[in-house]
Amino acid sequence: MRDRLRNWVRLVKRDVVALWLAARDPRTPLIAKFVAAAVAAYALSPIDLIPDFIPVLGYLDDVLILPIGILLAVRLIPAGLMEEFRATAAQRLERPSSTVGLIIVVALWFVAVALFLWWLWPSGVN
């Protein structure tokens, strides 16, 4: 059961990346572009339709709404084209990730936020 769930999550992740690629490709039909872009944006967005802290309902969008959106978008994209996008997405997801790069990016964000807060802090307070 655990392996099936892990495999399903991996396939959903691949399809979200594939839909992001489809939304940017000129060969994708216009309506499919809009649906693919909306689904990919919703999947990658930190903002949920139903907040995750609400028990049971919070994960409803992740379990139901997102897969239904993916299915709709996949049906609107020609099969051959979707297979190409899935292959490209699988290649992109197999790329090695850099932990050091992640640490550098996070550190730069912390420095930027700290400098912004320092700039906002009133310096002439007596």
Here the tokens at position 70 are 């993916």
Is the pLDDT at 29 greater than 90? The verdict is yes
With 90 as the cut, is the pLDDT of residue 43 above it? no
pLDDT digit string, tens, across residues 55-73: 777 777 777 888 899 999 9
pLDDT of residue 125: 54
pLDDT for res 124: 56
Between 61 and 34, the higher pLDDT residue: 34
User: How does the average pLDDT of the chain come out, rounded?
Assistant: 85
- The structural domains of the chain, with segments of one domain joined by +, span 2-97
- The predicted structure's pLDDT at residue 80: 93
Assess contact for 28 and 77: CB atoms under 8 A: yes
**Coil/strand/helix, residue 11:** helix
Between these two residues, 50 and 32, which has the higher pLDDT value? 32
